Amino acid sequence: MNLRKTRQGQAIRRVIAESGRPLSPAEIQEAAKHDIPSLGLATVYRVIKRMAEDGEVAAVQLPGEPPRYEDQRVAAKHHHHFHCNDCGRVFDVPGCPGGLDALTPPGFQVDHHELVLYGQCALCRREPTTS
Ligand SMILES: [Zn+2]
Ligand SMILES: [Zn+2]
């Protein structure tokens, strides 16, 4: 059976395409439940594994964190991530500060870099509304 063609597969693909940020399997399950209330976490893992093998999604691996997943088209464009310390969600940071050669010891060559920003997202920083 082609998992991608199932209702579950289509709902998961749509969630990932529309999220605009990397999602954990539990977040994908939660978002897809609007469409498919019975969707189980094991199915989410199975579909994501297949999508990763097919090159449709890429794993976002932050230090000390279980993998999250983003659309391969997003992953293909160099960017970085912001991890909210309060809600635990991860957001895309477009672009790159660059200039990292200045940090590199003389005679060394950088092939690749990771950059993660940590703090509070806009939603978590928002002042509680007074009623
Ligand atoms: Zn937050
Ligand atoms: Zn960069």
17 burial via Cβ count (<10 Å: 0-12, 13-18, 19+): middle
Q: What angle do CA 14, 18, 60 make, to 5 degrees?
A: 95
Residue 84 included in any domain: yes
7 is a domain residue: yes
Distance 7 CA to ligand 1 centre (A): 30
d(C-alpha 11, C-alpha 4), whole Å: 9
Domain assignment of residue 104, yes or no: yes
Question: 82 and 119 in contact (C-beta within 8 Å)?
Answer: yes
Q: How far is the CA of 117 from the centre of ligand 2 (A)?
A: 12
Q: How many domains does the chain have?
A: 1
What's the CA-to-centroid distance between 126 and ligand 1, angstroms? 10
Is pLDDT above 60 for 4?
Answer: no
pLDDT of residue 61 exceeding 60: yes
Q: Which ligand has the nearest atom to the CA of 21?
A: 1
Residue 118 lies in a domain: yes
Ligand in nearest proximity to the CA of 119: 1
The answer to whether residue 17 sits within a structural domain is yes
Query: Domain containing 101: what range?
Result: 3-125
Please report whether residue 131 resides in a domain.
no
> Does residue 130 form part of some domain?
no
Question: What is the pLDDT confidence band of residue 128, given thresholds at 50, 70 and 90?
Answer: low
- CATH number, residue 51: 1.10.10.10
Question: What pLDDT, on the 0 to 100 scale, is given for residue 13?
Answer: 94
* Helical axes 41-53 vs 25-32, angle rounded to 10°: 110
Using alpha carbons only, what angle is made at residue 47 by residues 75 and 77, rounded to the nearest 5 degrees? 5
Q: Does a structural domain hold residue 36?
A: yes
The DSSP bridge pattern shows strands 79-84 and 116-119 to be parallel
Beta-bridge partners for 20: none
